[in-house]
Amino acid sequence: MMVEELNRGQHLVRQVRSEAMRLLNYWHRDVLRDDGSFYGVVDARGRIQEDAPLSLILATRLLWTFSRAMNSGLVASDQYQKEVDGLYRYLVDTFFDPESLGFYWMVDVNGVAIYPHKHIYGQAFSVYALAEYYAASGHLEALRYAQLTYEVIEAVAADPRHGGYLESFNQAFEFDASSRLSSINRGAAKTMNTHLHLLEAFTRLFQIWPNPTLKARLTDLLDLMVNKVVDPVTFHFHGFFDQQWRPQSREASYGHDIEGSWLMVEAAHALKDTARLKAVQALCLNMVEAVWNEGADEMHGLMNEGIEGRITDDGFDWWPQAEALVGLINAYQVSGKAQYLERAYGVWEFIDGYVINRQQGEWHARLGKDHQPKESNLVDAWKCPYHNTRACLEVMQRLGSKPGPGGAVDE
């Protein structure tokens, strides 16, 4: 790294470190509750909806975020121990189904399951959070819950004939297409989004539990992402598939593409497979170029979606900006080309200038085409500290001197 690049990189590290602390302070002060639970909705003006239901996604992403902050060295190893212990206890005591196993999708403020369906997307985030919490706490019970949930995913959702995983199940883990993740699912049997987050969950679990069967499943999942989910011509992810992996959509989600580019490289690193790593690194650069050429505007903001290079959603959601920051720095590390670092600096300037909501404490969830914020919740089932805090921590790790989280257990 040239001296100028090093200096700019260290300046960026200082900025994202400050932002990560600011984000953690907001969530700690305004969202977490003393009993280990949290508020499910905070509106755009900072008003708490005390009766709002609590989602599994928010629960697991909160646990992951505070655990990762401890593991990354951003904060003292025990600074948030009480909080992460409370979040963990609330997750397993309230969301876990002791009869059918797995985690409920949503509970009310009293901890009663109001949407007890089991979506594999939610199970993936449960594994991800539990593995990170185990790394932060050494709490063996958390590792066992992570292992059990991984085993349930394999037992009920793995498709031995076509590969990958089915997604939607009722409380008893019977396949139920009606419990799809969102209205845009189109009834697809398999989606890119769920498999992407299974990939990150299996990667993190494998880092702390190097089990040979898990390694084989992670390898299969990475190969599936490379060979089935990425379009070999456009270098965008297909979003939706039937059970036989026939694509059911044409839209490109630029945020998912650039997020996937670095998560796949991370998975290949975890597998310690040199040939796979080289192939995935080459693919990741093609994906980043496709995203940047089609989805970035002149201010280095990343728009949401497009079809064949034509923008179909010209808004700027908060999370694609966070993922663009990491994806570009990963591309810089893979290629050594300063152009990716320059783009990352531009993305940070866009985030710093338009996306960070300093008045309320979090990031604006969405900007319009004019870069002005749209009124939207600061906190809800999907508006979580996972993408933006993780981006700050990744920049610190990649451009700074702090080691990443580590530590494995014997099989």
pLDDT digits (tens, 9 = 90+) for 1-23: 566 666 777 889 999 999 999 99
pLDDT digits (tens, 9 = 90+) for 237-286: 999 999 999 999 999 999 999 999 999 999 999 999 999 999 999 999 99
| Mean per-residue pLDDT, 29-41 | 96
The pTM of the full predicted model, rounded to 2 decimals, is 0.95
pLDDT higher than 80, residue 410: no
The amino acid at residue 77 is S
Q: Which domains does the chain have, with CATH numbers?
A: 1-30+250-402 (1.50.10.10), 50-224 (1.50.10.10)
pLDDT higher than 70, residue 184: no
pLDDT digits (tens, 9 = 90+) for 285-298: 999 999 999 999 99
The amino acid at residue 296 is A
| Mean per-residue pLDDT, 100-120 | 97
End-to-end Cα spacing for the chain:
39
What integer best gives the mean pLDDT of the chain?
A: 94
pLDDT of residue 112: 97
* Residues above pLDDT 90, as percent of the chain: 90
